[in-house]
């Protein structure tokens, strides 16, 4: 809408009666020039008022459009975060952007057809879609095993997020039809709303995702399903209509049946289902690294902690606890063999200092503490540390650092030079390692903290058929002059390898700062901490010959500015990891959160 011309304003400008002029102290025009000047003044006032009205209208148009763009971007983020407990973060993100981009294009291009086809305003159906999404996700998650990890996340979002994005984009296009771009050339005015809207969407999606992750779990409202409910309520305010009565099924399901809500009643309801299958949920919460839960298997007699699609560890509950618990997975006891490496100038345990990076349920650091070693644990997720202490017996006599270890190591490098006798590096989640923790720069910082007689062990969960494992091992060997490599389990047969197409296992790399060959002393009785499983698995058995690792010349090493060479394999690694995890625990456990 263009503002009227000045001539029209002059014609329409009202004249003040003579009596009014007298009351206000104004004298009537005495000459033709005075009269013309008064008309110009009145015309200017009317023009300013009209420009102000136009400006307010345009601000309202762009404000409504921006609000809807940001709301859609935030919902897109929450949608992919809701998929991560079932499919893992990487698999959930893999095709997410294609679903969103397609939805934006379809909605923007088809807004006119959608407007004509509906007997009501397009924006009025947005709340209906948003309020049904949690219920739809709940039932679609039950089919995740059948849908598979490769396309399951995309299919779920096509049936939930995609309609929301399509209608949102159509509504944004409708709103921006009211924008006045008459002052711009048509070559710019026509594509400008779409281009600017997409830029705002992408910026909002990127910036708000980081904020959502950082604030996840800080309150009940900062959890996945609660955020979906809040966003749906916001859509309801923006698209108020009588159609909201059709959203009752979704609202009732969220309030009564959706066990993915982090409420006490939802947890009780979930346990009713789990108990019937021999499981129970001990505790759960959502945090910066993902959905964290503690589960008991009553049939098999063990307790586990999971983070999204990863298992952080487990212990046998049917065997009880003496000094330490009996771990379900042998890799964590094999990491304790870092104490058995023979090095010159080794100090007794009660004088030693250990750094444990990545906590899990605390199997390895609990053993180090039990041996009397002064242990510092660096763990990024506060809920992991809380649950390890509360449900897995992590001893309190340790130094806990709840922080990103990269930032922590950089800040403390000067004071921790050659401070630690042992370093245990054990970080992994969702089929992909935190890349920064395997670069030559970070590993060089750990070497700086290790005593000349110190020993480091690095646990890397990877696939022997993919390059990342070789890249990581070569990087470690580039920093530490003497290393030995072991895997947790016996290598698969050729037939098994051909059948599955992958060889996924935990790999432990023991290294020292000298050129001396690494040897392990024979364990003595105190090393076992009265543990049956440690007596069987404390010493690593399955050594990997270095000839089985691709050479540095073939795959290179991981430098801080070349992390892309590892991340490009994350998708394939995550998909394989998901398949492995589905053989470890039944689908029902992963789907039910």
Buried b / exposed e along 327-346 (16+ C-beta atoms within 10 A): bbbbbbbbbbbbbbbebeeb
Placement of tokens 């997720």 in the chain: 381
Residue 147 has pLDDT above 90, yes or no: yes
Q: Are residues 91 and 211 in the same domain?
A: yes
Placement of tokens 């709940």 in the chain: 138
Buried b / exposed e along 495-507 (16+ C-beta atoms within 10 A): eeeeeeebbbbbb
Least confident range from 3-17, 263-277, 549-563: namely 3-17
Q: Are residues 239 and 324 in the same domain?
A: no
Residue 7: inside a domain: no
pLDDT in tens, 234-275: 999 998 888 899 999 999 999 899 999 999 999 999 999 999
Residue 47: inside a domain: no
CA distances from 411 to 406, 424, 445 (A): 9, 19, 11
Residue 29: inside a domain: no
- Res 48: pLDDT: 60
From the list 441, 377, 367, the residue with the least C-alpha distance to 410 is 441
Residue 26: inside a domain: no
Domain edge (last residue) among 262, 281, 297? 262
Domain holding 503, by residue range, is 312-591
Query: Are 276 and 367 a contacting pair, CB within 8 Å?
Result: no
Residue 19: inside a domain: no
CATH of the domain at 256: 1.20.1250
Confidence of residue 30 (pLDDT cuts 50, 70, 90): low
Q: Are residues 226 and 125 in the same domain?
A: yes
- Res 73: pLDDT: 97
Residue 298 has pLDDT above 80, yes or no: yes
pLDDT in tens, 439-486: 999 999 999 999 999 999 999 988 898 898 999 999 999 999 999 999
Query: Are 423 and 450 a contacting pair, CB within 8 Å?
Result: yes
Q: Are residues 251 and 323 in the same domain?
A: no
Mean pLDDT of the chain, nearest integer: 90
Q: Are residues 250 and 342 in the same domain?
A: no
Q: Are residues 258 and 375 in the same domain?
A: no
pLDDT in tens, 81-135: 999 999 999 999 999 999 999 999 999 999 999 989 989 999 999 999 999 999 9
Counted domains in the chain: 2
Domain edge (last residue) among 235, 262, 289? 262
Confidence of residue 18 (pLDDT cuts 50, 70, 90): very low
Strands (E) located in 56-117: none
Q: Are residues 328 and 201 in the same domain?
A: no
- Res 17: pLDDT: 45
Cα 23 to the center of its chain, rounded Å: 70
Q: Are residues 220 and 325 in the same domain?
A: no
Q: What percent of the chain shows pLDDT beyond 90?
A: 72
From the list 182, 180, 181, 193, the residue with the least C-alpha distance to 57 is 180
- Res 500: pLDDT: 84
In the three-class reduction of DSSP (H, G, I as helix; E, B as strand; rest coil), residue 320 is classed as strand
- Res 42: pLDDT: 61
Structure tokens at 212: 């959502």
d(CA 107, CA 116): 13
- Res 44: pLDDT: 61
Q: Are residues 236 and 332 in the same domain?
A: no
If one compares 10 and 356, the residue with the highest pLDDT of the two is 356
Residue 552: inside a domain: yes
Q: Are residues 243 and 361 in the same domain?
A: no
- Res 547: pLDDT: 81
Q: Are residues 554 and 477 in the same domain?
A: yes
Q: What percent of the chain shows pLDDT beyond 70?
A: 91
CATH of the domain at 415: 3.40.50.150
Residue 144: inside a domain: yes
Residue 518: inside a domain: yes
Q: Are residues 72 and 194 in the same domain?
A: yes
Provide mean pLDDT across the span 219-246: 93
Structure tokens at 455: 């020993």
CA dihedral (486, 490, 494, 495) positive or negative: negative
Cβ neighbour number for residue 392 with a 10 Å cutoff: 24
Domain edge (last residue) among 244, 262, 280? 262
């Amino acid at each position: 809408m263009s503002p009227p011309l000045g001539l029209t304003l002059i014609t329409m400008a009202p004249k003040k009666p003579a009596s009014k002029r007298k009351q206000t102290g104004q004298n009537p025009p005495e000459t033709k020039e005075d009269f013309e000047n008064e008309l110009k003044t009145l015309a200017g006032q009317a023009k300013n008022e009209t420009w102000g009205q136009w400006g307010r209208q345009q601000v309202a148009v762009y404000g409504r459009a921006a609000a809807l763009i940001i709301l859609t971007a935030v919902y897109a983020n929450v949608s992919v975060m809701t998929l991560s407990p079932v499919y893992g973060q990487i698999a959930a993100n893999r095709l997410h952007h294609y679903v969103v981009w397609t939805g934006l294009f379809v909605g923007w291009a088809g807004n006119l057809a959608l407007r004509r086809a509906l007997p009501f305003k397009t924006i009025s159906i947005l709340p209906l879609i948003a309020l049904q999404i949690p219920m739809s996700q709940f039932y679609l998650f039950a089919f995740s095993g059948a849908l598979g990890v490769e396309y399951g996340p995309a299919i779920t979002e096509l049936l939930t997020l995609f309609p929301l994005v399509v209608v949102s984009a159509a509504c944004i296009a409708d709103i921006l039809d009211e924008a006045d771009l008459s002052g711009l050339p048509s070559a710019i005015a026509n594509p400008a709303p779409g281009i600017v809207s997409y830029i705002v969407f992408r910026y909002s999606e990127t910036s708000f995702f980081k904020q959502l992750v950082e604030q996840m779990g800080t309150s009940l409202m900062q959890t996945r399903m609660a955020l979906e409910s809040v966003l749906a309520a916001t859509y309801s305010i923006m698209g108020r209509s009588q159609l909201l009565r059709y959203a009752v099924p979704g609202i009732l399901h969220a309030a009564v049946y959706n066990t993915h809500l982090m409420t006490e009643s939802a947890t009780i309801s979930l346990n009713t289902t789990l108990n019937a299958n021999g499981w129970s949920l001990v505790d759960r919460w959502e945090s910066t690294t993902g959905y964290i839960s503690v589960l008991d298997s009553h049939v098999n007699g063990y307790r586990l902690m999971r983070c999204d699609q990863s298992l952080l560890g487990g212990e046998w509950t049917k065997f009880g606890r003496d000094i330490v618990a009996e771990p379900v997975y042998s890799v964590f006891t094999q990491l304790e063999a870092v104490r058995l490496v023979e090095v010159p100038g080794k100090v007794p345990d009660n004088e030693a200092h250990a750094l444990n990076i990545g906590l899990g349920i605390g199997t390895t650091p609990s053993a180090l503490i039990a041996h009397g070693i002064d242990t510092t644990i660096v763990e990024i997720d506060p809920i992991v540390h809380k649950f390890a202490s509360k449900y897995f017996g992590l001893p309190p006599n340790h130094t806990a650092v709840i922080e990103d270890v990269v930032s922590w190591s950089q800040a403390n490098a000067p004071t921790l030079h050659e401070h630690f006798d042992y370093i245990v590096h054990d970080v992994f989640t969702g089929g992909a390692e935190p890349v920064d923790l395997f670069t030559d720069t970070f590993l060089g910082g750990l070497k700086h903290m290790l005593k000349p007689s110190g020993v480091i062990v690095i646990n890397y969960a990877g696939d022997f058929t993919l390059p990342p494992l070789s890249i990581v091992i070569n990087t470690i060997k580039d920093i530490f002059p003497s290393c030995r490599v072991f895997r947790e389990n016996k290598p698969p047969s050729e037939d098994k390898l051909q059948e599955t197409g992958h060889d996924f296992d935990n790999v432990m790399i023991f290294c020292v700062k000298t050129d001396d060959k690494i040897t392990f002393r024979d364990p003595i009785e105190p090393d076992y901490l009265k543990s049956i499983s440690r007596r069987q698995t404390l010493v690593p058995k399955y050594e990997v010959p270095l000839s089985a690792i691709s050479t540095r010349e073939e795959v290179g090493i991981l430098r801080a500015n070349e992390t892309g060479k590892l991340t490009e394999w994350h998708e394939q690694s995550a998909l394989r990891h998901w398949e492995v995890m589905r053989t470890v625990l039944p689908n029902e456990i992963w789907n039910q959160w």
